[in-house]
Amino acid sequence: MSTEKCSNICRIRVGAWVGLVAMAFLISSLYPGAMNQAFGSKTKGGTPMTLELTSQAFSPNDSIPAIYTCDGRDISPPLSWSGLPSGTKSLALIADDPDAPDPKAPKMTWVHWVLYNIPADTNGLAENAGSGELPGDTLEGVNDWGRTGYGGPCPPIGRHRYFFKLYALDTVLPDLGSPRKENLLEAMGGHVLGQAELFGTYQR
């Protein structure tokens, strides 16, 4: 191939590439969400859009250490989260056990912890936050022992699963008194921007 012919081809390819880049920028400016949708991006403004909930105390689907159960100190485990959706104004947290009383014949979901109006500028809860060491204007609901605060795993039989569910809300909820799980879920209706969950297991 002659040098002149190669030069012409290269100019055509570069020109085509510049045209594609220019078109991409035009589409992005006219339709800001189009590029994210086209390439499956999970970021916005450099912040992860996937809400994630973790704990330093246990990994997903691992056994919850006894210190956080009725066989230990019965304190709440440390929790951390990241990737709050844009527009998050507050967070809610519900911890429950869908395997009560027997995982082989579950009859109910036992609620262990209910929190709401957790400030959106927090990134977690410290160990033993369930004893009242809660951030900002966080409010508490009632668990199935009929009291506020955290109640740890205390399964009567078998290995149970314990789910910690975090909700990002587009509002700060009014004071609901001491709501039960179902009351909080009703109040959150239409306000959930994202949800994440973490579960561990425990057997006595």
What's the pLDDT tens digit per position in 38-62? 333 343 444 446 999 999 999 999 9
What's the pLDDT tens digit per position in 151-185? 999 999 999 999 999 999 999 999 999 999 999 99
pLDDT of residue 132: 83
Closest CA to 96 of 85, 79, 84, 108: 108
What are the beta bridge partners of residue 90? 119, 169
What's the pLDDT tens digit per position in 79-130? 999 999 999 999 999 999 999 999 999 999 999 999 999 999 999 999 999 9
Higher pLDDT, 69 or 44: 69
Using alpha carbons, list the distances in angstroms from residue 189 to 30, 169, 182, 183, 192: 33, 10, 11, 10, 7
Pairing relationship of beta strands 108-119 and 43-44 according to DSSP bridges: unpaired
Closest CA to 162 of 51, 52, 69: 69
pLDDT of residue 30: 38
Amino acid at position 55, single letter: S
